[in-house]
Amino acid sequence: MPASAAINTPPDRIAQLIAKRPGRRALLRAVDEIGEAATSAELYEAVKCRHADIPRATFFRALRFLLENGVLRKAVLHGGECVYQRANDPRNILWVCDDCAKVSAFRSDEVSAALSQAARRRGMEASPVSVEVHFHCGCRWESVGERKEIRPG
Ligand SMILES: [Zn+2]
């Protein structure tokens, strides 16, 4: 993300800049409706449900605006895929299903506190914690019609 003069824009001014652009409003609404860390493709599909004619470029300009102004945050998963959440969403531990790639977000208060303490002991200051945990959400069992039995490999 490029450094931007807009980073110091007051929150009420950012709210005005969001309010006057339907694409920005629609994107924020999609983020809130999905309620989990979502990929740009998932967000674009959600926006298109209400604004079928929104150009992809407009969507990505809105996404960049909201990132640059600290309204949204981006996490890059180990596979290179990016997911987006509200910047103030306290659920910044991301559990990624190894089977279907579903991302679930969890609160990290306790983990963050422990990591910040560990960092301070080493003379470092921790940035906001973002962690990715891999798991199996159960989709594997649904897809093969089995329960409580992990299919090999
Ligand atoms: Zn899954």
What's the CATH number where 144 sits? 3.30.1490.190
Cα gap 128→112, rounded to integer Å: 8
Report how far apart the first and last C-alpha atoms of the chain are (Å, whole number): 37
Verify that 113 and 63 share a domain, yes or no: no
Gap from CA of 142 to ligand 1 centroid (Å):
9
Per residue in 60-99, pLDDT tens? 999 999 999 999 999 888 778 899 999 988 887 788 887 8
Domains: count for the chain: 2
| Residues 136-151: b if buried by 16+ CB within 10 A, e if exposed | ebeebbeeeeeeeeee
Per residue in 19-51, pLDDT tens? 999 999 999 999 999 988 999 999 999 999 999
Gap from CA of 99 to ligand 1 centroid (Å):
5
Gap from CA of 95 to ligand 1 centroid (Å):
10
Gap from CA of 78 to ligand 1 centroid (Å):
16
Domain limits for position 144: 90-153
Verify that 7 and 72 share a domain, yes or no: yes
Verify that 73 and 1 share a domain, yes or no: yes
Gap from CA of 133 to ligand 1 centroid (Å):
13
